[in-house]
Amino acid sequence: MQLIKCAIDGVRPQEKPVTIFWAWRDQEGTRHAYRQRLCIEHYTTNVLALEAYHPAERLTCPACGIDVEDSYIPIYATVYMPGAGRINLELPLCDPCSVRVRVNAEVGSESLPDRSLGVSDATPKPTAWETLRALGRA
Ligand SMILES: [Zn+2]
Ligand SMILES: [Zn+2]
């Protein structure tokens, strides 16, 4: 039994929950960021289909598959899957799907202040040693 409850059903899962950092900008350009923890079951029903998305030459909506090359709403997600590491998702969603994904992302999640541990800031900075090595000096 885990201490953290699933954001959707409020049940403490048996296995470690999946942590998802969601981020998007609204029409005024304000950034919204949320941290959501889901049991494996709700991750599977709510997010897994989006995780399988791969951008093609022409962009299609990851949720419904329509062509969104000329107009889409980008939603970013960083998924921390226990035992599987981190997955970064960039989702070009059509209008109605973006609404649905945002509503689902807000269920039971914590709103994160701008510039906190959000999607774009989650990448660890390279250490000095890694930088030197990248430059061929170590
Ligand atoms: Zn659940
Ligand atoms: Zn769609």
Q: Which ligand is nearest to the CA of 46?
A: 1
Q: Which ligand is nearest to the CA of 13?
A: 1
Three-state secondary structure call for residue 98: helix
| pLDDT for res 121 | 46
Q: What is the rounded CA–CA span in Å between residue 102 and residue 98?
A: 6
Three-state secondary structure call for residue 124: coil
- pTM, two decimals, is 0.79
Domain assignments of the chain as residue spans, ordered by start: 18-134
Contact assessment for residue 7 and residue 36, using Cβ atoms and an 8 Å cutoff: yes
Å from CA of 108 to ligand 2 middle: 23
| pLDDT for res 122 | 47
Three-state secondary structure call for residue 58: coil
Query: In a structure prediction context, what are the per-residue pLDDT tens digits for the chain, which is 138 residues long?
Result: 788 999 999 999 988 999 999 999 988 989 999 999 999 999 999 999 898 888 889 999 999 999 999 999 999 999 999 888 999 999 999 999 999 999 999 999 999 986 644 445 444 555 666 666 666 765
Å from CA of 17 to ligand 2 middle: 27
Closest CA to 120 of 24, 7, 18: 24
Q: What is the rounded CA–CA span in Å between residue 60 and residue 69?
A: 7
| pLDDT for res 137 | 62
Å from CA of 51 to ligand 2 middle: 14
Segment holding 110, helix H or strand E: strand 110-112
| pLDDT for res 100 | 95
| pLDDT for res 56 | 87
